[in-house]
Structure 1
Amino acid sequence: MTGGYLYHRRVADRAAANDARLDFVSVPERSFPASVAAGRGLLGRLRDADAILLDSIAAAFVGPWLPAKGLPPIVGMLHQPPGGIDHAGVRQYVQKVLDRRAYRYASKLLIASEDLADTLRASGMPADRLTVVAPGRDPADAPVAPQGDLRQGRRIAVLSVGNWVERKGLLDLLEAVAKLPPEAVTLHLVGDPNVDPEYAAKVSARLTRPDLDGRVKTHGLVSPAEVVGYYRSADVFALASLREPYGTVYSEAMAEGLPVVGWDAGNLPHLARDGVEGFAVPPGDVRGLTSALRTLAENEPRRREMAAAAKTRSESFPNWDDTARVLFTEIRAVVEETRT
């Protein structure tokens, strides 16, 4: 239910409209580095395709086995930099080496955001091999509205969508909310709490402290249609993430007319301008995060102005039809070039 997976599902849904078919082949679920050994067995299942779209979450698992004879051309699809964004230490170093090896054999690299493309260019990847194919801004059809008023008697309802992992910054967001007057904000957390049990335990413990009593509602993992319902029922979107290669949830929230609040990091500065479509606060500045939320809670004209600006700016972002069209056009060009 996270950005990269939904990206491919939505593109696959539009494959037929682009005279294509996208079949999924998954690496068996094994712990690293056993998953690398499993990657070798996938290659035989890929030989009949016209092209291989290699997602960055799986690149390291097939990297050691490339090049392999008889494979169709490879197109990389990068939602994260080499080494990933949720690992550290030896795991990150080894994955970075394997990712880079895999990308050497790709004819083209499709990149999910301008920020990630900038990172890759700075690391030495040739600019002429990179094409940005950003996610669509339209999250789902047929939204399902949540029950009741999300404000629950407070001035605004703030929505945060993200799994409970450290880089999503939930603890910082909770600290910021705790510093607000009790009547200011009801915070709604949508996302899977079971991805990182150690971090989730810290979040759960923070939620039990008296200064957040009744001010935060958790909803767990919900469907895309339900996420849209939360966007449409909230007043503000907030995500204190330090590393969002694209930040699909920011663009989705803006498309639904929500001002966004987060750290001035990752791709957020490419999506929303500080003080215009929301607030991009210096990373780690919890007081600044509190100040941003207080402004939106206490200054309704400013909040409405930012909401309208967010909606307008989002109209320049691609929708999923645009994304699919560019992606399949790039893949088709690689296939045709290989055949000539």
Structure 2
Amino acid sequence: MTFTVSLVTVGDPDTMTGGYLYHRRVADRAAANDARIDFRSLPTSRFPLPLVAGRSLMRRLARERPDVVLLDSIAAAFVGPFLGPSLPPVAAILHQPPGGIDHGAVRRSLQARLDRAAYDRVARLLVASDDLADTLRKGGLPGDLMRVVPPGRDPATSSVVTPPGDLRAGRGCAVLSVGNWVARKGLLELLSALSALPPDAFTLHLLGDPGVEPAYAARVRARLAAPDLADRVVVHGVRTPAEVVGFYRAADVFALASLREPYGTVYGEAMAEGLPVVGWDAGNLPHLARNGVEGLAVPPGDVPALTEALRSLTLDASLRERMAAAARLRAAEFPTWDDTARMVFDELRRVAKEAGR
């Protein structure tokens, strides 16, 4: 009999960001695990209006009776008040700490209270990284309920799409950065660091959605128009997973100056394709790449140090090759998406069994 999971999230489950992609890739492997994931989405209304839809959704799930209800961390606040004994067993899958990481202070404070109230009522906390698990424990969430289930290192299931032309564009090195244009991703700091390098040192390729934070995107576009970056940056926008892999394989260095990356899936993907990684010594990056071995991690916010790290890798081909080989070897220890899906479904089956289902 098929094991059924109702995954409660917000908005379009096919959105091209880390948490959504995690769920989609696990769902794609459900049949191989004798399971099924049904997505149940709350509307992307202004906070806290999804609470209204949360009540009716929980009533619906009480009638449908899946084996397990799985709460996405972006939805936990909106259904937490309506969790009760009429529901099947409930677990949560966390890609961010309570309150989220991209909201203003007022919303973050209110949502954190709602998130914690929801997590107090679940049977298991599936957590995307060791770094996030540490943060959650320090914030008072019960460590005995946590299971770390990191994302897979293999980003595409279809044929890889190779980007046209030479990404170096006649310069010494092709640098790749994958991430939506939000302030947390540190794109302005990355551009400032790269702008100090010699004109022939690099061509930077940016993959990601420029439309998430319009005001920030306007600042990025203004910076890109400055003379010190002229013709050295190519903006590609959102690309499919198969296209992203093609860029990994065609680039020389991966760089992302993100201050808070609960896992940093793109770091792991880049390493698996043999790219040395550069970023801040923050978030989960230190758990993935060792500074000076698989990449270079510098103190958060230190743009001159970021410049020197990028200078080392863009100008020294032998260093790039050594770190690339080490990155590929290290990433071979990371789980694949098949491994991740198996861990998720095994844990959810334990939750159902413990509840007597």
Q: Which residue of 1 aligns with 2:59?
A: 44
Between the aligned partners of 1:304 and 1:227, the Cα distance in structure 2 is: 21
* Residue of 90, 96, 99 corresponding to 1:83: 99
Establish whether residue 11 from structure 1 lines up as the match of residue 26 from structure 2.
yes
Q: Paired residue for 1:232?
A: 249
**Equivalent pair of 2:61/2:87 in contact (CA under 8 Å):** yes
CA distance in 1, matches of 2:282, 2:60: 39
The answer on 1:285 being equivalent to 2:302 is yes
Alignment-mate amino acid for residue 40 of structure 2: V
Instruction: Find the partner of 1:145 among 146, 162, 166.
Output: 162
The CA distance in 2 between the partners of 1:102 and 1:60, in whole Å, is 6
Once the two structures are TM-superposed, the CA of residue 291 in structure 1 deviates from its matched residue by 0.6
Q: % of aligned pairs identical?
A: 67
Moved more, 44-53 or 222-231: 44-53
Report the Cα distance in structure 2 between the residues aligned to 1:104 and 1:251, rounded to whole angstroms: 31
Matched, 1:330 2:347: yes
State how 1:267-286 maps to structure 2 within 5 Å.
Answer: 267-286=284-303
Q: Which runs of 4+ in 1 moved over 6 A?
A: none
Q: Match for 1:194 among 211, 221, 224?
A: 211
Residue 44 of structure 1 and its aligned partner are, at CA, apart by: 2.1
Q: Which residue number corresponds to residue 163 of structure 1? A: 180
Paired amino acid for 1:5 = Y
Query: 5+ unaligned residues in a row in structure 1: which ranges?
Result: none
Following TM superposition, by how much is the alpha carbon of 1:297 offset from its aligned partner in structure 2, in angstroms? 1.3
Letter in 1 for 2:123: S
2:254 is paired with a residue whose SS is strand
* 1:274-320 deviation line (CA, Å, top 9, x unaligned): 01000011001111111111111111111100000000000110000
Aligned to 2:46: 31
The DSSP-based 3-state class of the residue aligned with 1:158 is strand
**Which residue number corresponds to residue 320 of structure 1?**
337
Give the conservation status (yes or no) of the 8 Å contact 2:262–2:284: yes
Q: How does 1:128-139 map to 2 (within 5 A)?
A: 128-139=144-155
3-state DSSP of counterpart to 2:36: coil
Report the alpha carbon displacement of residue 75 of structure 1 after superposing the two structures with TM.
0.6
Deviations 1:72-122 (A, max 9, x none): 011110000000000121100010000001111110000000000001111
Residue number in structure 1 paired with 2:5: none
User: Using the alignment, how far apart are the partners of 1:60 and 1:339 within structure 2?
Assistant: 27
Q: Distance in 1 between matches of 2:241 and 2:61?
A: 30
AA of the residue aligned to 2:93: M
Equivalent residue, structure 1, for 2:87: 71
The match for 1:20 is 35
User: What stretches of structure 2 of length at least 5 have no aligned partner?
Assistant: 1-15
In 2, Cα distance between the equivalents of 1:310 and 1:9? 26
Aligned equivalent of 1:124: 140
Q: Name the SS of the counterpart of 1:106 in structure 2.
A: coil
Quick check: 2:58–2:83 contact (8 Å CA) kept in 1? no
- The structural deviation recorded for 1:64 is 2.1
CA distance in 2, matches of 1:270, 1:88: 27
How many residues matched? 339
Instruction: Letter of the 1:77 partner, please give it.
Output: I
- Structure 2 counterpart of 1:114, from 126, 130, 133: 130
Q: Give the TM-score, by structure 1 length.
A: 0.98
Mean Cα deviation higher: 33-42 or 237-246: 33-42
| 2:122 counterpart letter in structure 1 | A
How many Å apart are 1:176 and its aligned residue?
0.6
Distance 2:141 2:58 in 1: 25
- Give the superposition deviation at 1:29: 2.1
1:183-222 CA distance string (max 9 Å, x none): 0010000000000001000000100000000000000011
